């Protein structure tokens, strides 16, 4: 989950901070690992839908994005959102790192009507804008 008030140890926060500071970004492996990055507003909508769903008591729903992005593409998008070139520190793949992680949101979609609408290309610039505002 990314967006305003994102944990500073997660990729999007780290990439934004490091690009702005002129520090290198660590890229583990060849950059082809894929993750789904979910904007906070979409998760909030899913939580609200779950709270309103009467049969949801004690039920479990995955909230996430239904599309994955390669690490190397996330770095490119981060550069574009920040407006600066990133310095890349190429490192070996981390042991145990999964090639792809993506939440199965089919149950949340079916029962809650959950449908994330914020694509990374739209949410990433919003995060960068928030990040810059916090630094002032």
Ranges of each domain in the chain: 11-135
Contacts of residue 68, defined as CB under 8 A and 6 or more positions apart, other chains included, come to 34, 35, 36, 100, 101, 102
Q: What whole-number distance in Å separates Cα of residue 49 and Cα of residue 94? A: 37
Displacement of CA 56 from its chain's centroid (Å): 26
The vertex-27 CA angle with 21 and 30, nearest 5°, equals 150
CATH of the domain spanning 11-135: 3.40.50.720
The residues with which 100 forms a beta bridge, in sequence order, are: 34
What are the start-end ranges of the H helices in the chain? 11-21, 40-52, 71-82, 106-112, 120-135
Pick the residue with more confidence: 117 or 54?
117
Of all residues in the chain, the percent with pLDDT exceeding 70 is 99
- pLDDT greater than 80 at residue 56: no
pLDDT tens digits, one per residue of 85-124: 999 999 999 888 898 999 999 999 999 999 999 999 999 9
Kindly state the average pLDDT of the residues 45-60. 85
Indicate whether this model's pTM tops 0.75.
yes
Q: In this structure, is the dihedral angle defined by the CA atoms of residues 72, 76, 79 and 82, taken in order, positive or negative?
A: negative
Residue 92: predicted pLDDT: 93
């Amino acid at each position: 989950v990314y967006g305003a008030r994102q944990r500073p140890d997660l990729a999007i926060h780290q990439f934004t901070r490091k690009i702005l500071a002129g520090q290198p970004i660590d890229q583990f492996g060849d950059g082809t690992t894929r993750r789904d990055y979910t904007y906070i507003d979409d998760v909030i909508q899913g939580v609200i839908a779950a709270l309103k769903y009467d049969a949801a008591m004690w039920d479990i729903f995955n909230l996430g994005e239904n599309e994955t992005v390669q690490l190397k593409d996330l770095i490119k998008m981060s550069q574009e959102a920040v407006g600066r070139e990133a310095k890349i520190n190429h490192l070996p793949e981390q042991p145990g790192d999964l090639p792809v992680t993506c939440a199965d949101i089919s149950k949340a979609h079916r029962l809650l009507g959950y449908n994330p609408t914020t694509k990374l290309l739209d949410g990433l610039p919003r995060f960068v804008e928030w990040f810059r505002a916090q630094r002032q």
